[in-house]
Amino acid sequence: MPLYRGSCHCGAIEFQIDADIVELTTCDCSLCKKKNALMTKVHEANFTLLSGQDQLSEYRWNSRVARHFFCPVCGIYTFHRKRSEPDHYGINIHCLDDLSPSDIPVRAAEGAGMSVVSDGARDTWPGPRG
Protein backbone atom coordinates (compact mmCIF):
# COMPACT_ATOMS: atom_id res chain seq x y z
CA MET A 1 0.00 0.00 0.00
CA PRO A 2 1.12 3.56 -0.62
CA LEU A 3 2.44 5.57 2.29
CA TYR A 4 1.21 9.17 2.55
CA ARG A 5 2.56 11.84 4.89
CA GLY A 6 0.42 14.70 6.04
CA SER A 7 0.47 17.72 8.29
CA CYS A 8 -1.41 20.78 9.40
CA HIS A 9 -0.55 24.10 7.76
CA CYS A 10 2.17 25.16 10.22
CA GLY A 11 3.70 21.66 10.49
CA ALA A 12 3.15 21.26 14.24
CA ILE A 13 1.04 18.12 13.60
CA GLU A 14 2.56 15.46 11.31
CA PHE A 15 1.15 12.03 10.56
CA GLN A 16 1.28 9.27 7.98
CA ILE A 17 -1.18 6.74 6.62
CA ASP A 18 -0.53 3.47 4.85
CA ALA A 19 -3.54 3.12 2.57
CA ASP A 20 -4.93 2.61 -0.89
CA ILE A 21 -7.18 5.64 -1.25
CA VAL A 22 -10.02 4.40 -3.43
CA GLU A 23 -12.84 6.61 -2.17
CA LEU A 24 -13.28 10.05 -0.64
CA THR A 25 -16.17 11.09 1.54
CA THR A 26 -18.08 14.25 2.25
CA CYS A 27 -20.53 14.42 5.15
CA ASP A 28 -23.57 16.60 5.68
CA CYS A 29 -23.47 16.65 9.49
CA SER A 30 -23.34 20.11 11.04
CA LEU A 31 -19.63 19.87 11.91
CA CYS A 32 -18.36 18.49 8.60
CA LYS A 33 -20.42 21.03 6.65
CA LYS A 34 -18.82 23.87 8.57
CA LYS A 35 -15.28 22.56 8.12
CA ASN A 36 -15.98 21.57 4.48
CA ALA A 37 -14.25 18.24 5.06
CA LEU A 38 -13.16 15.91 2.27
CA MET A 39 -12.01 12.69 3.88
CA THR A 40 -10.71 9.20 3.40
CA LYS A 41 -10.85 6.56 6.10
CA VAL A 42 -8.09 4.31 7.38
CA HIS A 43 -7.94 1.65 10.06
CA GLU A 44 -6.08 2.73 13.20
CA ALA A 45 -3.34 0.18 12.44
CA ASN A 46 -2.56 2.16 9.25
CA PHE A 47 -2.31 5.55 10.96
CA THR A 48 0.77 6.94 12.74
CA LEU A 49 0.99 10.29 14.50
CA LEU A 50 4.59 11.33 13.83
CA SER A 51 4.75 14.58 15.79
CA GLY A 52 2.58 17.04 17.61
CA GLN A 53 0.91 14.80 20.20
CA ASP A 54 1.49 17.55 22.78
CA GLN A 55 0.08 20.19 20.39
CA LEU A 56 -3.03 18.34 19.21
CA SER A 57 -6.39 19.79 20.26
CA GLU A 58 -9.54 17.69 20.40
CA TYR A 59 -13.20 18.53 19.93
CA ARG A 60 -16.07 16.21 20.86
CA TRP A 61 -19.77 16.93 20.67
CA ASN A 62 -23.15 15.20 20.76
CA SER A 63 -22.51 11.51 21.57
CA ARG A 64 -18.84 12.30 22.31
CA VAL A 65 -17.76 9.15 20.45
CA ALA A 66 -16.19 10.89 17.46
CA ARG A 67 -12.98 12.69 18.35
CA HIS A 68 -12.04 15.56 16.01
CA PHE A 69 -8.41 16.67 16.09
CA PHE A 70 -6.96 19.96 14.93
CA CYS A 71 -3.91 22.13 15.36
CA PRO A 72 -4.35 24.93 17.92
CA VAL A 73 -1.58 26.94 16.25
CA CYS A 74 -2.90 27.18 12.67
CA GLY A 75 -6.44 25.84 13.23
CA ILE A 76 -6.38 23.10 10.58
CA TYR A 77 -8.59 20.02 11.03
CA THR A 78 -6.24 17.09 10.37
CA PHE A 79 -8.13 13.90 11.23
CA HIS A 80 -10.78 12.41 13.49
CA ARG A 81 -11.76 9.15 15.16
CA LYS A 82 -14.98 8.06 13.51
CA ARG A 83 -18.25 7.72 15.39
CA SER A 84 -19.57 5.02 13.05
CA GLU A 85 -16.29 3.06 13.13
CA PRO A 86 -14.29 4.01 16.26
CA ASP A 87 -11.31 1.89 15.17
CA HIS A 88 -10.91 4.04 12.03
CA TYR A 89 -9.67 7.56 11.39
CA GLY A 90 -11.20 10.00 8.97
CA ILE A 91 -8.32 11.83 7.32
CA ASN A 92 -8.53 15.34 5.86
CA ILE A 93 -7.08 14.53 2.43
CA HIS A 94 -6.11 18.17 1.88
CA CYS A 95 -3.49 17.67 4.61
CA LEU A 96 -1.81 14.83 2.68
CA ASP A 97 1.34 15.61 0.70
CA ASP A 98 1.56 14.49 -2.93
CA LEU A 99 -2.05 13.34 -3.30
CA SER A 100 -4.08 14.43 -6.29
CA PRO A 101 -7.72 13.68 -5.45
CA SER A 102 -9.12 14.56 -8.89
CA ASP A 103 -9.47 10.93 -10.07
CA ILE A 104 -10.79 9.48 -6.79
CA PRO A 105 -14.57 8.99 -6.55
CA VAL A 106 -16.39 10.99 -3.86
CA ARG A 107 -19.26 9.52 -1.84
CA ALA A 108 -21.67 11.69 0.13
CA ALA A 109 -22.28 10.33 3.62
CA GLU A 110 -25.51 11.23 5.39
CA GLY A 111 -24.29 12.39 8.78
CA ALA A 112 -27.18 14.79 9.34
CA GLY A 113 -29.46 11.80 9.85
CA MET A 114 -27.36 10.32 12.67
CA SER A 115 -29.01 10.41 16.06
CA VAL A 116 -28.44 13.42 18.27
CA VAL A 117 -27.92 12.92 22.00
CA SER A 118 -30.11 15.54 23.66
CA ASP A 119 -28.10 16.18 26.86
CA GLY A 120 -26.83 19.67 26.07
CA ALA A 121 -26.88 19.08 22.30
CA ARG A 122 -29.28 20.68 19.88
CA ASP A 123 -32.14 18.36 18.96
CA THR A 124 -31.82 19.33 15.31
CA TRP A 125 -29.34 21.17 13.19
CA PRO A 126 -30.73 24.68 12.75
CA GLY A 127 -29.41 25.08 9.21
CA PRO A 128 -31.19 24.54 5.90
CA ARG A 129 -32.33 21.11 4.80
CA GLY A 130 -33.07 20.39 1.18
Q: What is the pLDDT of residue 112?
A: 58
Rounded Cα distance, 25 and 110, in Å:
10
Domain covering 3-109: architecture: Beta Complex (2.170)
Q: What is the pLDDT of residue 15?
A: 98
Amino acid identity at 99: L
Q: What is the pLDDT of residue 116?
A: 56
Q: What is the pLDDT of residue 130?
A: 43
Q: What is the pLDDT of residue 129?
A: 43
Task: For residue 101, give every residue at least 6 positions away whose Cβ sits within 8 Å of its Cβ, in sequence order, or none.
Answer: 24, 38, 93
Contact 97, 35 (CB under 8 A): no
Q: Is 52 exposed, middle or buried (0-12, 13-18, 19+ CB in 10 A)?
A: buried
Q: What is the pLDDT of residue 85?
A: 85
Size of the chain, expressed as the number of residues it contains: 130
Q: Which residues of the chain have pLDDT under 70?
A: 110-130
Q: What is the pLDDT of residue 102?
A: 84
